[in-house]
Chains A and B, each alone.
Chain A
């Protein structure tokens, strides 16, 4: 039913990516697994968790992070290990810096190595690079991404645009440098090599990030699913996510799911009935497709439990 709601029949050669967003603890992993399970009935599907809470490892009994494991018919799963990827990324740059700057230890610039390792933004960098790889992975028809908490997820989605702003300024500066070199060389009758490695690299980076920006904004390539609970903070974050998607990425959410909705008698006993009704009312006023997922009588902790959740979901 979820797969029908998101109209998951795309005619593209690359995988369609579903990003499941929302505040931590709202049930993103559960909904991601359910969506992936339904999509696997249509075609080869990968569910991959970027969330470092690693619930998916427990749910799907994955032996270890980073491996892609078959967990059902046409269904594969993986958990990204941010620490390991960050370690590999920084190791690559540290090795490069040591080669470029051999006097690094002598000049007491070992602190530079720490800056690379512990720099803010390393998580977002790792996620963005993983996204680029996933969009190119033609083994799968669908890829469902259980995203990290909202702040990191949104920064990751905006990162390629921010990089392109920097890159355009750097290109302008580098083109001026190369032109000056050319004019000076020509004037003095000297030989000049027009190729500038830094400028070529800037053009490559700009092309790569522009492609990613396009994919993130293309409804044929990416769908955004937002999960919230009928509580103030998750609803607030849901609004923030919608605002960022529409304002900065120029996309609309494909589906909003209000998860862990209690039966009215229980909600009343707990004193949250009004809050819950208000959340449902707010969602029904929005112009997006939405669904309600009722509260299961137990916390789902396996693929079988998640599949049972199907009985508790209905369109709003």
Chain B
């Protein structure tokens, strides 16, 4: 039976390593998260572009897809309505100061 202080130390060490492990995982997916965010914006731009003068896909093809992008559109417009600086967020992720 381990003394209590040793058990506390071991517990703290376990939490420390779990935190490090989590940080490593987060770091490893950082690049993928950025690519994912970029590609989602690209996809939305392609689909809805014709409605605002950015000529991409045929207009009616974009409209057919728009209804299946509810969640992404809601997020995009919530952020723009809140005044979030989407561009600044993107630059920050890219490490541009």
CA distance A123 to B73 in the complex (A): 28
The 5 sampled A-B contact pairs (Cβ below 8 Å) are A96-B63, A103-B77, A166-B57, A201-B68, A205-B61
* Contact pick for A163, options B46, B61, B63, CB 8 Å: B61
Please name the residue on chain B nearest to A196 by beta carbon: B68
Closest A residue to B40 by CB, please name it. A177
Instruction: Verify B43–A173 contact, CB threshold 8 A.
Output: yes
A residues contacting B by CB (< 8 A) are: 89, 93, 96-97, 100-101, 103, 109, 112, 115-116, 119, 121-122, 125, 162-163, 166-167, 170, 173-174, 176-177, 180-181, 183-184, 187-188, 197-198, 200-202, 205
Q: Quick check: is B11 within 8 A (CB to CB) of the other chain?
A: no
A-B contact count (CB 8 A): 92
Among B29, B63, B66, contact of A183 (Cβ-Cβ < 8 Å)? B29
Report the Cα distance A245→B69, complex, angstroms: 37
Interface pair B29/A177, CB less than 8 Å apart: no
Shortest Cβ distance from residue B32 to the other chain A in the assembled complex, whole angstroms: 5
CB <8 Å contact, A166 and B58: yes
Interface residue B85 (Cβ < 8 Å from any Cβ of A): no
Beyond known contacts A170-B47, A187-B29: 12 more, CB 8 A cutoff = A100-B66, A100-B67, A100-B70, A116-B51, A162-B58, A166-B61, A167-B61, A170-B65, A173-B46, A181-B36, A188-B29, A198-B65
Q: In the complex, what distance in Å separates the CA atom of A167 from the CA atom of B61?
A: 8
> Chain A: interface secondary structure?
helix
Residues on B lying within 8 angstroms of A by beta carbon are 25-26, 28-29, 32-33, 35-36, 39-40, 42-43, 46-47, 50-53, 57-61, 63-70, 73, 77, 81
> Which residues of chain A are within 8 angstroms of B58 by Cβ–Cβ distance?
121, 162-163, 166
The contact of A115 among B43, B50, B66, B68, by CB within 8 Å, is B50
Q: How far is the CA of A166 from the CA of B61 in the complex (A)?
A: 9
Q: Are B61 and A97 neighbours in the complex by a CB distance under 8 Å? A: no
Kindly list chain B residues whose C-beta atoms are within 8 Å of the C-beta of A180: 32, 35-36, 39
Contacts of A162 in B (CB 8 A): 58
Given contacts A96-B63, A116-B59, A163-B61, contact A103 B68 (CB under 8 A): no
Q: What is the minimal beta-carbon distance from B9 to any residue of chain A, in angstroms?
A: 27
In the complex, the 5 A-B pairs of residues with the closest C-beta atoms, listed nearest first:
A197-B68, A180-B36, A198-B68, A119-B59, A201-B68
Min CB gap A41→B, angstroms: 39
Asked whether B59 lies within 8 Å of A115 as measured between CB atoms, the reply is yes
Known: A188-B26, A198-B68. A125 touches B36 (CB 8 A): no
The answer for the CA separation of A116 and B57 in the assembled complex, in Å, is 13
Known: A119-B60, A184-B29. A202 touches B77 (CB 8 A): no
* Contact between B36 and A116, CB atoms less than 8 A apart: no
Q: How far is the CA of A205 from the CA of B47 in the complex (A)?
A: 14
Q: Could you say which residues of chain B place their CB within 8 Å of the CB of A177?
A: 36, 39-40, 43
Q: Which residues of chain A are near B61, meaning CB under 8 Å?
A: 163, 166-167, 205
A38→B57 CA distance, assembly (Å): 43
Structural contact, A184 and B32, CB atoms closer than 8 A: yes
A192 to chain B, nearest CB (A): 12
Give the docked Cα–Cα distance between A97 and B47 (Å): 13
Residues of B with C-beta under 8 A to A125: 60
In this complex, what residue of B is CB-closest to A173? B43
A residues in contact with B67, CB < 8 Å = 96, 100, 201
Chain A proximity of B56: nearest CB distance (Å): 9
CA distance A173 to B44 in the complex (A): 11
Centre residue among B32, B53, B57, B64 by max chain A CB count within 10 A: B64
Residues of B within 8 A of A119 (CB): 50, 59-60
A97 (CB) vs chain B CBs: closest residue: B66
Contact between A100 and B65, CB atoms less than 8 A apart: no
A180 to B34, CA, bound (A): 10
Evaluate contact between B59 and A121: CB separation under 8 angstroms: yes
